Amino acid sequence: MKTRTAGRHFRDSLKSISRNGWMTFASVSAVTVTLLLVGVFVMIMMNLNKVADDLEKDVEIKVIVELTADEAAITALQDEIKNTSGVAEVQYSPKEDELNKLMLDFGEDLRLFEQQNPLHNVFYAKAANPQDTEKVAKRIDRLDNTFEVKYGEGKIERLFSFLNTSRNVGLVLILALLFTAMFLISNTIRITIVARRRDIEIMKLVGATNWFIRIPFILEGMWLGLLGAIIPITLVTTLYYNIHKVVAPKLAQGNLFELLDFSPFIYQVNALILLMGVLIGVWGSFMSVRKFLRV
């Protein structure tokens, strides 16, 4: 395509937007509302997915060591646990530390057991893939000098099932919302093109090629997508900034869940909103103008 022709297509697309003021306003409004819903929903779902990941990463395997195991046996057991397939990390907690934890939870009355500590030495292990916690725990349980292996049997299965279901439901909802966005935006853009079908027919009759007719409309769809993405990007950025500023410190104090960091998360969401606006605008224009090229 020649530079002069490309420049003309850009000018024509911009002129068309300014000439069809009300139709442009309607299209941009539809794009804005839809992309705002998509942006807010993606922001919520991504943070819920972060919470799910944090819950999975907190799942530990507690390996209680036999009371008869000496230092050499404990060291050997630690090496065996590290080398067990699926284990990501291992942390040793001697029985003195276990007693200190109990005293923090239940009070200083337990200090009487310091002279003759009845607790076991413990290893805390984490699976590389939290979903494999049960399998890894059973492998560790087969090792020598293990008194008992605890991993929340029965509870973590329900937890992982709930988290997987939540992720799948969230994915379906996002896809459904994206499909709805594509449908609404493309149909709104189609209305603007239907109103100018006579112009397309005239250009076709005087010998204009399909692509010569199509490109200005595609560019117009791109401008509509860009304009429609400005307000959602601004509102989503402002909303998440204020939520992160207020909520994140409170969550940090309680050692609860963490929100995704403002940067780069918000820029990823904004890029998605912008890309969706442009792609759907271009796609809607391309598909809508195609049926009027058959004269």
Average of pLDDT values for 168-177? Answer: 81
β 122-127/146-150 pair status: unpaired
Flag whether pLDDT at 279 surpasses 60.
yes
Average of pLDDT values for 3-18? Answer: 68
Flag whether pLDDT at 22 surpasses 60.
yes
Give which of 178, 184, 186, 180 is closest to 285, Cα–Cα: 186
At residue 93's C-alpha, the angle toward residues 88 and 98, to 5°, is: 135
| Residue 234: per-residue pLDDT | 93
Average of pLDDT values for 232-256? Answer: 83
Please state the φ and ψ torsions of residue 97, each to the nearest 5 degrees.
-70, -35
When comparing pLDDT for 189 and 232, which is higher? 232
> How would residue 238 be classed by pLDDT, with cut points 50, 70 and 90?
very high
Average of pLDDT values for 168-175? Answer: 81
| Residue 45: per-residue pLDDT | 84
| Residue 123: per-residue pLDDT | 92
When comparing pLDDT for 23 and 92, which is higher? 92
Q: What is the mean pLDDT of the chain?
A: 80
Beta-carbon count within 10 A of 77 CB: 23
> How would residue 205 be classed by pLDDT, with cut points 50, 70 and 90?
confident
Tell me the whole-structure pTM to 2 decimals: 0.71
| Residue 199: per-residue pLDDT | 73
The answer to whether 196 touches 292, Cβ cutoff 8 Å, is no
| Residue 254: per-residue pLDDT | 61
Whether CATH 3.30.70.3040 fits 60-150 = yes
Flag whether pLDDT at 286 surpasses 70.
yes
Q: Percent of the chain beyond pLDDT 90?
A: 14
| Residue 218: per-residue pLDDT | 82
Query: What are the C-alpha distances in Å from 78 to residues 90, 122, 133, 267?
Result: 8, 10, 17, 43
Handedness of CA 186, 187, 192, 193 (dihedral sign): positive
pLDDT tens for 67-125 read 888 889 989 999 999 999 999 899 999 888 887 787 776 666 556 555 677 888 999 99
Flag whether pLDDT at 255 surpasses 70.
no
User: Where along the chain do its domains lie?
Assistant: 3-56+158-293, 60-150
Flag whether pLDDT at 209 surpasses 70.
yes
Question: What's the burial of 107, exposed, middle or buried (CB within 10 Å: 0-12/13-18/19+)?
Answer: exposed
When comparing pLDDT for 207 and 269, which is higher? 269
DSSP letters spanning 15-62: HHHHHSHHHHHHHHHHHHHHHHHHHHHHHHHHHHHHHHHHHHHT--EE
Flag whether pLDDT at 1 surpasses 60.
no
Beta-carbon count within 10 A of 266 CB: 21
How far does CA 198 lie from the centroid of its chain? 45
| Residue 35: per-residue pLDDT | 86
3-state secondary structure string across 188-233: HHHHHHHCCHHHHHHHHHCCCCHHHHHHHHHHHHHHHHHHHHHHHH
